[in-house]
């Protein structure tokens, strides 16, 4: 998947569901719930239970969704995630070797960065877009907006503290898309197997982002 196509994809869908599954069966149900609610970009963190197997299964079960991985820390994990079929890769940090390896495999890679220096470094190294993480640490939407004058040409995907309520504000502030974890996939809903609540939250999120 070329970076140009990745940018069109995230600009279209705006939301990425971040799934950290303690059990593969829960990961499958979490993914099905957000997909039923209209979220089409799903990240399975590499520290999920049997992440490679989960990614492979979801690509079969959810052909209308794009399944990637995140929390990739090193080259071995990156290679393994690509072998598993991940269609995009998020990292929590800027690592030039990881960026170059993903580019060589034509896989979109989205490094995590926080400061302007980190963001620009990742972008100039060839990142497909840049994850601003954790965005809540520097003020959320106001921080994204403050970056626009200097580096507004860089497509930013804030994560960390993103909620169904503040996601539209982040996009309105200049983010190309947002990544949501615990607020979209609440532990209470997961523990009670309340998939309808997660699906409903996903629908609300998609609707709100379409209005931005």
Q: What is the pLDDT of residues 121-137, one digit of tens each?
A: 999 999 999 999 999 99
pLDDT computed for residue 30 by the predictor: 98
SS3 content of the chain, % helix, strand, coil (to 5): 50, 15, 35
Across 97-105, average pLDDT: 97
Fold of 3-210: TIM Barrel (3.20.20)
Residue 199 φ/ψ, nearest 5 degrees? -60, -40
From CA 190, how far away is CA 140, in angstroms rounded?
26
Burial class for 12, CB neighbours closer than 10 Å (0-12, 13-18, 19+): exposed
State whether residue 44 is helix, strand or coil.
strand
* pLDDT tier at 166, thresholds 50, 70, 90: very high
* pLDDT tier at 147, thresholds 50, 70, 90: very high
Contact predicate 177/40, CB 8 Å: no
Mean pLDDT of the chain: 97
Across 142-159, average pLDDT: 97
Across 13-31, average pLDDT: 98
Q: What is the pLDDT of residues 30-77, one digit of tens each?
A: 999 999 999 999 999 999 999 999 999 999 999 999 999 999 999 999
Predicted model pTM:
0.96
* pLDDT tier at 3, thresholds 50, 70, 90: confident
């Amino acid at each position: 998947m070329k970076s140009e196509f990745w940018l069109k994809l995230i600009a279209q869908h705006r939301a990425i569901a971040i799934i950290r599954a303690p059990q593969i069966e829960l990961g499958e149900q979490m993914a099905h719930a957000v997909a039923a609610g209209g979220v089409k970009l799903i990240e399975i963190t590499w520290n999920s239970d049997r992440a490679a197997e989960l990614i492979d299964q979801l690509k079969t079960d959810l052909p209308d969704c794009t399944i990637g991985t995140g929390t990739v820390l090193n080259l071995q994990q990156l290679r393994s995630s690509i072998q598993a079929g991940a269609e995009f890769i998020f990292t929590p940090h800027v690592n030039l070797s990881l960026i170059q390896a993903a580019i060589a495999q034509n896989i979109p890679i989205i490094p995590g960065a926080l400061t302007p220096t980190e963001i620009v470094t990742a972008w100039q190294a060839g990142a497909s877009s840049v994850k601003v993480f954790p965005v809540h640490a520097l003020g959320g939407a106001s921080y994204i907006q403050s970056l626009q004058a200097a580096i507004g040409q860089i497509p930013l995907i804030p994560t960390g503290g993103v909620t169904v309520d503040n996601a539209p504000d982040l996009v309105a502030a200049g983010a190309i898309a947002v990544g949501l974890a615990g607020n979209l996939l609440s532990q209470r809903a997961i523990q009670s197997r309340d998939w309808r609540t997660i699906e409903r939250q996903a629908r609300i999120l998609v609707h709100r982002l379409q209005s931005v």
